[in-house]
Structure 1
Amino acid sequence: MSGEAEALQSDERPLVVGIGGTIGGVSSTERALRIALDAAGEQGFRIRLFGGADMAKLPLYDPKAHERTPEERDFVDTVRRASAIIIASPGYHGSISGVVKNALDLLEETARDSERTYLADMPVGLIATAYGWQATGSTIAALRSIVHALRGWPTPFAAAINSAITKFHDDGGASDPAVVEQLRMVGKQVARFAPLARME
């Protein structure tokens, strides 16, 4: 178990998990996700990011595998403890990236969980980045469809970021303050709706 995972387990605050990025370095998608996660953190939530480097360690999902790698177990167990999720994907050829889809496919491991199946009743924030507007819309639509299939609740606002126009900074900001506010809204909404998901 990583030091970050151990620290999360000792902290009893509710957890928001971020899933997104690309393989090959920190991307615009991952930077956008970090802004949204930080906004949730400001609302008193723990946050955990599974970025491109983390998802690159996940093997292609094999539903018939008898053993899971430590990285697969860490990912699934962290999502099991989450009160909310934020998913960010680049738009690749009109839909989500394979690496993000592979991570989400791994959540099939929760299909028979007695406490919560998949992402049942969990608020899920959505972010799409693409080099143009058309792919952002179709990527958000694909993410919504996947979250519905996993029984989660996509939050009302989703952030669609045109990376041909908006550039992200290494320090956590972006060239367009309005985009930063949109991403922060995603984080604030999952934080707002997470307590409702725990009500019975």
Structure 2
Amino acid sequence: MTIRIVGIGGTVNPGSTTEQALRLAAAQAGSEGAEVSIFGGEYLGTLPHYRGAGYEAGSGAELVEAVRQAHGVIVAAPGYHGTLSGLVKNALDYLEDLAKDERPYLDGRAVGLIATAYGDQATMSTLLTMRSIVHALRGWPTPMGATIRTYHGLFSPDGECLEDRARLQLELVGRQTFRGARALASLDTGA
């Protein structure tokens, strides 16, 4: 069985640290054997507010369908004013479209979490908020949640993480998301 992992996150800034962190964790899941899809800042920035002005039936359909088919999800959010950004929260609001599914919301899915910010306090409060959201959506947060302090030079221009502490956290989130997704999927199939 192919394990599918969906990455959601980033900012409106191309090449943001948050999206680079997401891509690194997702690449680790991919190296473990997962099929990975990423919905980064560029995509998230095009989503109208869920059920708000500009919203139409089918808005966010690619994201919703990818999560519907996924065994695991990795969410990366910047810490803005002590919590996750509206951009990422809005994307998570689209998971309401999964409410009536056989596996509603994030049920039966491993969810890796990454919080980025300039300070430790913001990364921790953002991570805790994201864990609460995942629990509310019936998902299974991985034991490791990455808290990444951002600064210019954390990533090289080609996306390599230049700080061991951050790289090791992100790789562990990707690995645990894959392994959790594989374990939960095997329960569903009885393998």
Shorter chain as normaliser: what TM range?
Answer: over 0.9
Q: Sort the Cα spacing of 1:182 and 1:165 in 2 relative to 1 into closer, same or farther, 3 A.
A: farther
Matches within 5 A, 1:13-162: 13-62=2-51, 67-69=57-59, 72-114=60-102, 116-162=103-149
| Higher strand content, 1 or 2 | 2
User: TM-score with structure 1 length normalisation?
Assistant: 0.88
Distance 2:56 2:32 in 1: 39
1:181 Cα deviation from its structure 2 partner: 1.3
1:166 Cα deviation from its structure 2 partner: 6.4
Q: Is this contact kept in 1: 2:131–2:141, CA < 8 A?
A: yes
Q: Sort the Cα spacing of 1:197 and 1:108 in 2 relative to 1 into closer, same or farther, 3 A.
A: same
RMSD: 1.7
Task: Please tell me the residue identity of whatever aligns with 1:51.
Answer: G
Q: Report runs of 4+ in structure 1 exceeding 3 Å deviation.
A: 63-66
User: TM-score with structure 2 length normalisation?
Assistant: 0.92
Give a deviation string over 1:26-51, Cα, whole Å, max 9, x none.
20000001100000000111111100
Distance 2:184 2:64 in 1: 19
Task: Please tell me the residue identity of whatever aligns with 1:56.
Answer: G
Q: Secondary structure at the match of 2:18?
A: helix
Give a deviation string over 1:105-148, Cα, whole Å, max 9, x none.
0000000012x100002110000000111100000000000000
Point out where structure 2 has 5 or more consecutive residues left out of the alignment.
none
Once the two structures are overlaid, the 10-residue window that deviates more, 165-174 or 88-97, is 165-174
Give a deviation string over 1:62-99, Cα, whole Å, max 9, x none.
17966123xx1111001101110000000000000000
Q: Is this contact kept in 2: 1:19–1:87, CA < 8 A?
A: yes
Distance 1:66 1:46 in 2: 29
Point out where structure 1 has 5 or more consecutive residues left out of the alignment.
1-11
Give a deviation string over 1:164-184, Cα, whole Å, max 9, x none.
486112222122122111100
Q: Is this contact kept in 1: 2:72–2:177, CA < 8 A?
A: yes
Q: Is this contact kept in 2: 1:166–1:176, CA < 8 A?
A: no
Q: Secondary structure at the match of 2:161?
A: coil
Q: Sort the Cα spacing of 1:75 and 1:89 in 2 relative to 1 into closer, same or farther, 3 A.
A: same
Distance 1:60 1:163 in 2: 27
Q: Which residue of 2 aligns with 1:8?
A: none
Task: Please tell me the residue identity of whatever aligns with 1:110.
Answer: L
